[in-house]
Amino acid sequence: MISEPSIRDKAAIAGIGHTRFSRALGMTEVEMAVEAIWSACDDAGISPREIDGLVRYDLEQTDEEQLLAILGNPHLRFFAGTPFGGGGSAAVLVVAAAAITSGLARHVLVFRSRARGKHSGYGRGGAQGGRYWEKVGTELPALNQWHIPQGLVSAFQEMAMISMRHRIDYGTTDDQYADVAIAFREHAARNPNAVLRQPITREEHHASRMISDPLRLFDCNIETDGAVAMIVTSTERARDLRQRPAVIRAGAMAAGSHHIRLSNLFARPWEEESPVRVGRELFAMAECTPADVDVAFFYDFFTSLVIIALEQYGFAPRGEGGPFVESGGLAWPNGRLVANTNGGQLCEAFVHGFNNTIEAVRQIRGTSTSQVEGCELALVAGANTDPTGAVLLRRDR
């Protein structure tokens, strides 16, 4: 339960920056990080030397030590990270807002730099780019021992099993998956940053290769090179900077059982799943409802998980996420809930949700290529796995 909405409205995203998104940029992750960080500082109108806080994403390979060198050894006062992969992608902003609210830092950098395009150079280390699951080796301690020897080797197969259960329970269809893919591709077609901009048809979706039933190629995020950075500061300070602030109205995190540990996940009641809990806490803190949200950014690693997120965050009743996305339900400008106006991770780029977050900031600023008219409130959700986190961004009044 929330007694004090302690971070509510206290912090804002004041600067956003990114590299180009591409199948192959020919840059290292550190080089991309520098470009995105500099661009975010320019956008905000601050010097990189003013950064005194840092929230890393746990899969990030550009570490504090490298960043200290990059930033000319500033006096970092606050550093933290969010664990749990994609689930932590919006939680970085919750942690940054907490640091700002508590006075532990004044300008917090959050960023993600990721070289995973098909033609980018993969590192050899266990966490150095490439497909993490190809590097698990043949001796499996801990919980990997229960899945990988059975042939369940990667997150996309686990997500496939979660998606299949949603079809078993609610009859979710290939057509509904296609509705998500088509809407987001339409958004990407208007976004010059997007890697995939060619509109697709329902038939093309259905004809794309099955990867792990029920997920086809066009249900899956793309793999790209790219980096995204944001500067979070106090709402008051943000008002003095260059851009219209995207105020963090509310933020929440929840952990309970790791999603890729299916035996735990399936043993839990739906109401206790982390995204459901985050949704409840988020709207309670913001004192509003899903109906107040003007645009939403779901962690679209798979079309099916977008449909599930709609239910978890209360936009659709449980089991009705599929019908919700039909007939352009998520499409700009007339959808029931316009979502992922950058084309999301299915089409723009896969920067672990950070590219979706900066598009939410553009919506609040009024500068999206699929701008929602009068946009005042945006939801940004991390991967709706378990654990996870989410924020609501609002226009400053």
Binding site for another protein (CB under 8 A): 131, 133-134, 136-143, 145-154, 157, 160-162, 164-165, 168, 209-214, 261-264, 266-267
User: What is the distance between the alpha carbons of residues 15 and 44, in angstroms, rounded to a whole number?
Assistant: 4
390 φ, ψ (degrees, to nearest 5): -155, 160
Q: Cα separation of 9 and 350, whole Å?
A: 29
CB of 263 to another protein, least distance (A): 4
- 127 vs 143 by CB, closer to another protein: 143
* CA–centroid distance for 36 within its chain: 17
**What is the C-alpha to C-alpha distance for residues 49 and 360, in angstroms, rounded to an integer?**
26
Q: Is the dihedral of CA 290, 291, 296, 298 positive or negative?
A: positive
Contact by Cβ (8 Å): 379, 90: no
Residue 106 CB, nearest distance to another protein (Å)?
A: 42
- Encoding tokens for residue 183? 């809407």
Distance of CA 309 to the CA centre of its chain: 12
Taking the least distance from each CB to another protein, the nearer of 129 and 343 is: 129
Q: Looking at this protein, which amino acid is placed at residue 283?
A: F
- d(C-alpha 228, C-alpha 348), whole Å: 13
Beta carbons of 374 and 260 less than 8 angstroms apart? no
**What's the min distance (Å) between Cβ of 220 and another protein?**
11
Phi, psi angle pair for 161, to nearest 5°: -70, -35
Q: Please, which residue, 160 or 360, has the CB nearer to another protein?
A: 160
Residue with smaller CB distance to another protein, 154 or 357: 154
Q: Which helix (H) or strand (E) holds 211?
A: strand 210-212
From the CB of 308, what's the least distance to another protein, in Å?
A: 13
Nearest residue (CB) to another protein, 128 versus 264: 264
Whole-number Å distance between alpha carbons of 253 and 241: 28
Do 319 and 270 contact (CB within 8 A), yes or no? no
Q: Which residue shows structure tokens 């969010």? A: 82
Least distance from another protein to the Cβ atom of residue 269, Å: 12
Task: State which residue, 49 or 268, has the beta carbon closest to another protein.
Answer: 268
Looking at the Cβ atoms of 26 and 149, the one nearer to another protein is 149
Shortest separation between residue 259's beta carbon and another protein, angstroms? 13
Q: What whole-number distance in Å separates Cα of residue 338 and Cα of residue 295?
A: 5
CB 351 within 8 A of CB 285: no
Taking the complex as a whole, how short is the minimal distance between the CB of residue 130 and another protein, in angstroms?
A: 12
Pairing label, strands 295-297, 377-381: parallel
Residues 363 and 342: their CA atoms lie apart, in Å, by 10
Is the Cβ of residue 95 or residue 220 nearer to another protein in the bound state? 220
Here the tokens at position 378 are 């945006």
Query: How far apart are alpha carbons 255 and 278 in whole angstroms?
Result: 9
Nearer to another protein, 303 or 369 (CB): 303
Type of residue found at 129:
G
Nearer to another protein, 137 or 366 (CB): 137
Spacing of C-alpha 137 from chain mean position? 29
Indicate the residue among 213 and 236 with the shorter CB distance to another protein: 213
